[in-house]
Amino acid sequence: MMKKFFFVFSFTLICAGATLNVSAQTIRIDTVASPLKTSRLTLGGYGEAVMQRMFYSDNPSRYSYPETYKDKYHGRFDLPHVVFYAGYDFGKGWRLSTEIEFEHGGAGSTYEIEKTEAGEYETEIEKGGEIAIEQFWLEKTWSPYASLRMGHIIVPVGITNQYHMPTDFFSVLRPEEESGILPCTWHETGISFWGNAGKWRYEAMIVAGLDAERFSNEGWISGGSASPYEFKIANTYAGAVRIDNYSVRGLRMGLSGYYGHSALNTLKQERYASRNVKGIVTIGAFDAIYDYSNILARANVIYGNLGGSYDISIINKRLPSASPSPRTDVASDVLSFYVEAGYNMLSLFEKTKNGDDRLYLYAHYGFYDSMYKTAEGIPDKAWCRKKILRAGINYFPMQGLVIKAEYALRQFASPYNNEPSISLGIGYSGLFN
């Protein structure tokens, strides 16, 4: 690992993961090695805190009765992600990496004695949130061209799963154009083979398939990765690939894809087997990052298809109410894209243009539709079609530190109400030794 402190703290009004920026190219910390490092143990992590003011209702019925919930507002404080990283170099090409993630501050419960109920013991839920192992893998490297990674790993489909630190995007939260349709951060247990060859980086992996019971109209397959059980169902398997190119100075372009069966990867697969449903999930994505001469820009396009979406929708809506399934229709196709660009305003002034600090003024435009196309007999949900407009600032007082502020507008077609918000946030990410 690179013996370099890399710290990022971002404070934003909407939401905000760990990379190192080297010569305008973004490289993940779990792929960096350095002969200068003397300790075999590497510690690090990332995290963020967020404050939001949303000028719209958070009532779940606001799309069913838009007029009733017009001119409402709410606010939130949150800790979207706090992650602790530890890696160990065993030598001879063997490495171990682990990440434990606390989402929304983690979860907590305690035993208490209720004074109003004859002193009975009760379990009290202190707070919401999640604690999860985001990465846990063992890797063998033979050369820069060939490494084998085994364990719990990131599925690098799209831009955010590969680059999910608070410094990897302008918005306070991770871009919803991806997190609204794909698992984010998407991590699965499996095997990955990756390497670098000249100006190219490649990766191919085999992981467990998604769970079709967890698909929904609002999030498409985004819930299919997480398991509500003590184990991850792996009746079927899936494959993912990614190729990145760095030929142009300051520019990284990437293609990624995913293919796997989901219908039989459920706890009671006979529901789908009786209808001969495979639930094949196919995803293709293109993304790019340009970081050179005080300009920082990003773009991402995703298209996804779900085979057998009609049968999956019918089956899921008939699941018992106690099921962890959302029990909604699901689309056959989804579409998502966004572009964002910022300029370092400090480069315009003589006293600050050569400094370590940067101040990006940026704009963002995106679109995604989690019900872009539906099978015959499955109604479209117009409120799943969203345009996203953002504008704000990212201030980096030094390498690895960022402060964010933004205004965002989520636009809908009539009769739904638009959803504006303001956000501030703080976050960090990096290697501490």
Q: Is it the case that residue 35 has pLDDT exceeding 50?
A: no
Q: Is it the case that residue 220 has pLDDT exceeding 80?
A: yes
Going by pLDDT thresholds of 50, 70 and 90, the confidence category of residue 202 is: very high
Is 59 a domain residue?
A: no
* pLDDT computed for residue 401 by the predictor: 85
Segment 271-280 shows an average pLDDT of: 90
Is 429 a domain residue?
A: no
Q: Which residues pair with 334 in a beta bridge?
A: 304
Is residue 69 within 8 A of residue 55, CB to CB? The reply is no
318, amino acid identity = R
Is 51 a domain residue?
A: no
Q: Is it the case that residue 28 has pLDDT exceeding 70?
A: no
* pLDDT computed for residue 405 by the predictor: 97
Segment 371-383 shows an average pLDDT of: 95
CA 390 vs. chain centroid, Å, equals: 18
Specify the range with the lowest mean pLDDT, choosing from 22-26, 138-142, 263-267, 314-318: 22-26
| 392 half-sphere exposure, CB direction, 13 A CA radius | 29
Q: Which residues pair with 151 in a beta bridge?
A: 137, 190
Cα-based torsion angle of the residue sequence 158, 163, 165, 170 in order, rounded to the nearest 10 degrees: -70
226: its two tokens: 């997480």
Is 39 a domain residue?
A: no
Start-to-end CA distance of the chain, whole Å, equals: 9
| 138 vs 152: CA distance, rounded Å | 9
Q: How many domains does the chain have?
A: 1
Backbone angles phi, psi at 179, to 5 degrees: -65, -15
pTM of the model: 0.87
Is residue 87 within 8 A of residue 30, CB to CB? The reply is yes
Span 231-243, pLDDT tens digits: 888 999 999 999 9
CB atoms under 10 Å from CB of 92, counted, come to: 7
Q: How far is CA 188 from CA 66, 152, 284, 418, in A?
A: 38, 5, 18, 35
Q: Is it the case that residue 282 has pLDDT exceeding 90?
A: yes
Residue 165: which of 341, 6, 53 has the closest Cα?
Answer: 6
| 304 vs 335: CA distance, rounded Å | 7
| 154 vs 11: CA distance, rounded Å | 25
25: its two tokens: 């190219």
Residue 47: which of 19, 82, 77, 21 has the closest Cα?
Answer: 82
* pLDDT computed for residue 18 by the predictor: 35
Whole-number CA gyration radius for the chain: 22
CB atoms under 10 Å from CB of 61, counted, come to: 10
* pLDDT computed for residue 5 by the predictor: 33
Cα-based torsion angle of the residue sequence 244, 246, 252, 254 in order, rounded to the nearest 10 degrees: -20
Return all residues near 271 (Cβ < 8 A) that are at least 6 apart: 315
Going by pLDDT thresholds of 50, 70 and 90, the confidence category of residue 22 is: very low
Is residue 137 within 8 A of residue 151, CB to CB? The reply is yes
36: its two tokens: 């200068």
Is 45 a domain residue?
A: no
Quick check: helix, strand or coil at residue 332?
A: coil
Is 58 a domain residue?
A: no
Q: Is it the case that residue 30 has pLDDT exceeding 60?
A: no
Segment 21-43 shows an average pLDDT of: 52
> Domain range for residue 284?
81-108+126-406
Span 140-151, pLDDT tens digits: 999 999 999 999
Segment 291-314 shows an average pLDDT of: 96
Q: Which of 298-302, 321-325, 395-399 has the highest mean pLDDT?
A: 298-302
Q: Which residues pair with 11 in a beta bridge?
A: 49, 426
| 155 vs 239: CA distance, rounded Å | 9
Q: How far is CA 209 from CA 70, 234, 262, 323, in A?
A: 41, 6, 6, 19
Q: Is it the case that residue 214 has pLDDT exceeding 90?
A: yes
Mean per-residue pLDDT over the chain, rounded: 87
* pLDDT computed for residue 3 by the predictor: 37
Is 198 a domain residue?
A: yes
Tokens 């920082």 belong to which residue?
A: 296
338: its two tokens: 């966004």
Specify the range with the lowest mean pLDDT, choosing from 117-121, 157-161, 247-251: 117-121
* pLDDT computed for residue 372 by the predictor: 97
Q: What is the CATH number of the domain that holds 253?
A: 2.40.160.10
Q: Is 121 exposed, middle or buried (0-12, 13-18, 19+ CB in 10 A)?
A: exposed
Q: Is 199 exposed, middle or buried (0-12, 13-18, 19+ CB in 10 A)?
A: exposed
Q: Is it the case that residue 346 has pLDDT exceeding 70?
A: yes
Going by pLDDT thresholds of 50, 70 and 90, the confidence category of residue 34 is: very low
Residue 329: which of 294, 290, 378, 373 has the closest Cα?
Answer: 378
Segment 111-129 shows an average pLDDT of: 57
Is 35 a domain residue?
A: no
